[in-house]
């Protein structure tokens, strides 16, 4: 069989694409105990359009060895084989999820009934602000740009470098902002698929939570620009926290996204692993309270319509 079917230009085209990048990423992710799937498709619930994320990965952390109860960390990853720098304009974070974006969780329990007859949302119950990396980065970005070489002007001197440009559309074909929107939509779709699997007619007290980590991976340099009250300061980094604000179903939403370069992937996976273990352990320590909350709030949900139940399990409604 011939092994020279692909010419060098053909192989260069594959190298410039993100396919090899995705294939190298999969075994790294799976070394952390995930099952990774490249090119996972999902349906956008708002537009009906079929989209895809470059890599979908799921793992499971047991809450208790005596029961089949788990916390499922889920990675949704967009890969872009870029040569140009990505610059994220950061500000000092205010360590509150109201300003920094919610940690995305679906499943049950969404609320924990405390001993005093009150209730806490699951993220408050877990005290995520004390240990989750979303709230401990120092800086947060809500604006970014790619810096890439523009086109030569007609009649210009070809020996001179083309002017550089800054924007979201690289080479007239790579729409980076669209990639971020796709990650946010993927989180929504996965949460809804998870919520549809709950049967509120049963008296099941099983703890079943999925925690979502949307990630954008670039092969090019990652730069943080911090302005503050001084001149812009640029520094090379390997991870940036990005808060995407977008509109879905006429509602303004936020999605926190980790942006990493290839050096930043492994440290991020290590961080997510530690956080997932801590979430499962904290729930496990108070498993009885969590299980009782699943039953109690399940009874309340049976009195509500299916649309409300779906939104509640997605973490979008409060009882």
Q: What is the pLDDT along the chain (319 residues), one digit of tens a residue?
A: 456 787 777 777 666 766 778 888 999 999 999 999 998 999 887 788 899 999 999 999 999 876 678 999 999 999 998 889 999 998 876 655 444 568 899 999 999 988 777 889 998 899 888 899 988 777 889 999 999 887 654 445 544 556 888 888 887 778 899 999 999 999 999 999 999 988 876 667 789 999 999 999 999 999 999 886 778 899 999 999 999 998 877 788 899 999 999 999 999 999 999 999 999 999 999 999 999 999 989 989 999 999 999 999 999 988 8
Residue 75: name the closest of 30, 131, 133 by CA. 30
Residues 6+ apart with CB under 8 A from 24: none
Task: Decide if 48 is inside a domain.
Answer: yes
- What is the SS3 assignment for 33? coil
Task: Decide if 261 is inside a domain.
Answer: yes
Task: Decide if 188 is inside a domain.
Answer: yes
The pLDDT score that the predictor gives to residue 1 is 45
Task: Decide if 7 is inside a domain.
Answer: no
Task: Decide if 29 is inside a domain.
Answer: no
Residue 75: name the closest of 258, 243, 246, 310 by CA. 258
Task: Decide if 26 is inside a domain.
Answer: no
Task: Find the helix or strand (DSSP H, E) in which 110 lies.
Answer: none
DSSP class of residue 158 equals: T
Task: Decide if 98 is inside a domain.
Answer: yes
> Could you give the CA distance from residue 269 to residue 212 in angstroms, rounded to a whole number?
13
Instruction: Supply the mean pLDDT for the chain.
Output: 86
Instruction: Give, in degrees to the nearest 5, the angle at Cα 275 between 274 and 277.
Output: 65
DSSP class of residue 152 equals: P
How many domains in the chain?
Answer: 1
pLDDT digits (tens, 9 = 90+) for 105-126: 999 999 998 877 788 999 889 9
> Could you give the CA distance from residue 255 to residue 213 in angstroms, rounded to a whole number?
10
Task: Decide if 254 is inside a domain.
Answer: yes
Range of the domain at 243: 41-153+161-313
């Amino acid at each position: 069989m011939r092994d020279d079917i692909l010419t060098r230009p053909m192989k260069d085209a594959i190298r410039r694409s993100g396919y090899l990048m995705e294939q190298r990423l999969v075994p790294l992710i799976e070394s952390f105990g995930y099952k990774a799937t490249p090119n996972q498709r999902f349906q956008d619930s708002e537009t009906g359009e079929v989209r895809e994320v470059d890599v979908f990965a799921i793992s499971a952390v047991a809450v208790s060895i005596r029961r089949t109860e788990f916390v499922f960390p889920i990675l949704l990853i967009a890969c872009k084989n870029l040569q140009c720098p990505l610059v994220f304009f950061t500000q000092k974070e205010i360590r509150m999820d109201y300003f920094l974006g919610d940690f995305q969780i679906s499943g049950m329990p969404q609320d924990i009934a405390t001993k005093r007859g009150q209730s806490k949302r699951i993220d408050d119950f877990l005290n995520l602000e004390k240990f989750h990396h979303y709230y401990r980065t120092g800086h947060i970005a809500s604006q970014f740009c790619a810096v890439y070489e523009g086109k030569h002007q007609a009649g210009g001197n070809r020996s001179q470098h083309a002017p550089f440009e800054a924007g979201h559309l690289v080479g007239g074909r790579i729409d980076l902002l669209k990639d971020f929107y796709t990650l946010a939509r993927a989180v929504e779709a996965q949460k809804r698929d998870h919520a549809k699997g709950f049967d509120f007619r049963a008296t099941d007290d099983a703890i079943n939570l999925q925690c979502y980590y949307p990630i954008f991976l670039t092969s090019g340099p990652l730069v943080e620009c911090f302005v503050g009250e001084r001149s812009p300061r640029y520094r090379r980094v390997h991870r940036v926290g990005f808060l995407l604000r977008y509109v879905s179903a006429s509602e303004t939403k936020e999605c926190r996204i980790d942006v990493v370069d290839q050096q930043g992937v492994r440290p991020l996976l290590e961080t997510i692993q530690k956080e997932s273990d801590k979430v499962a352990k904290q729930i496990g320590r108070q498993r009885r309270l969590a299980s009782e909350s699943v039953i109690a709030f399940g009874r309340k949900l049976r009195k509500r319509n299916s649309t409300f139940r779906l939104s509640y399990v997605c973490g979008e409604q409060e009882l």
